[in-house]
Structure 1
């Protein structure tokens, strides 16, 4: 994912500070970005230097200055070009798969324990995201269309985790069935 275009996308909804952007990136499980917080500020400086954002420094009566970034017409043009470009296929890699490749060295009980722990991690992550959704805490900016898109963006990780839960459940069931029908060697 290009963090530059993600930041421009956020700015297309209106002026935001680096702090606002860091917070929104951290709140979204759907965005495939795992950079550090300083990267946001470096990208903002670069976007401003490239003429893709305006910078307004607000000095409140008390407290530190607040830098607000707004997308420029040149930034909107760059964002439109990126939006019209080819999209990437979703990433389907999951660390559990590497463990399953080597699972033949485990007993049936140990394999079930591995899958049980993984299922619990998925369940806990799902519960946390469902609570965030229930509270309406996820990112939601802009027009009614954009808010609808954000609602769908925020619900995507939940749907993926529900599918992962079903996949683990089916795998455990199939393994249990296999253990009862195939004699051990």
Structure 2
């Protein structure tokens, strides 16, 4: 996991199986302001790389992660995107995103060097081998000439805390001391 000094929220970022995630797109840009930041302020060092497939590939990109087994928990999914290649007029990159086999977002077209974020809460999970999973699939749209790309993904879990409230006597005891 990596911590970036330029992350205003001090999030930890890690590569998702870097050896299997090839090819990568990267920019030759070094100025942190060269990718226009969105309201989630993803660090330039995270956004200036993206995973994609080979240009002529029709394979989906699939990301799976094991998650909590509590069915009442909600998950917050944030997908951060920015086109890193200057496409010519004959090229298009458009894709659909499925979460747990349900169409989640349709016809996404990342903008060149502009960070955008797609987000939502997710209340249902898939179970594989008794383990709940979050399965995110990126599929090239029919009219697209290029495969999908992914710069960064964040998943947050809303945990239910089962602690009881503070006992009123605890406060009274502290006051006496």
What TM-score range do you get, normalising by the shorter chain?
under 0.3
Alignment TM-score, normalising by the size of structure 2? 0.26
Which of the pair is proportionally richer in helix? 1
Q: TM-score, normalised by structure 1?
A: 0.26
If asked which structure has higher relative contact order (CA below 8 Å, sep 6+), I would say 2
